[in-house]
């Protein structure tokens, strides 16, 4: 006889990827027999980023212009500084 049981695990608080990106759990089930039969299930919970932190930039404005010779982009900031090639 096969009995299906549904178990719901709920976190007590929100999971934060910046604090911990992955949680590993082991669920063990026992029956009431003598001796008791057991089964185990390993669960890995991967926490996705919720974009709850605003991005931080070094400058308030950036100037971007393509360069066909470098095949990259020149980034400069502030605009009065010489651009640096970033590949």
Instruction: Note the pLDDT tens digit of each residue in 42-84.
Output: 999 999 887 777 878 888 877 666 555 555 545 544 555 555 5
Residues 6+ apart with CB under 8 A from 1: none
Q: Does the pLDDT at position 25 exceed 60?
A: yes
Closest CA to 86 of 54, 60, 63: 63
- Note the pTM of the prediction, 2 decimals: 0.50
- The residue whose two tokens read 């910046």 is 18
Which element (helix H / strand E) includes 39? strand 38-46
CA Rg value for the chain: 26
CA distance 87 to 78: 20
- The token pair that represents 44 in the structure block: 């890995």
């Amino acid at each position: 006889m096969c009995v299906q049981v549904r178990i719901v695990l709920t976190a007590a608080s929100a999971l934060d990827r910046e604090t911990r990106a992955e949680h590993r759990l082991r669920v063990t089930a026992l029956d009431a027999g003598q001796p008791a039969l057991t089964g185990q299930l390993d669960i890995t919970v991967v926490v996705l980023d919720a974009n709850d932190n605003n991005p931080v930039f070094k400058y308030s404005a950036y100037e971007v212009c393509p360069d066909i010779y470098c095949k990259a982009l020149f980034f400069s900031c502030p605009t009065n500084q010489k651009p640096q090639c970033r590949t």
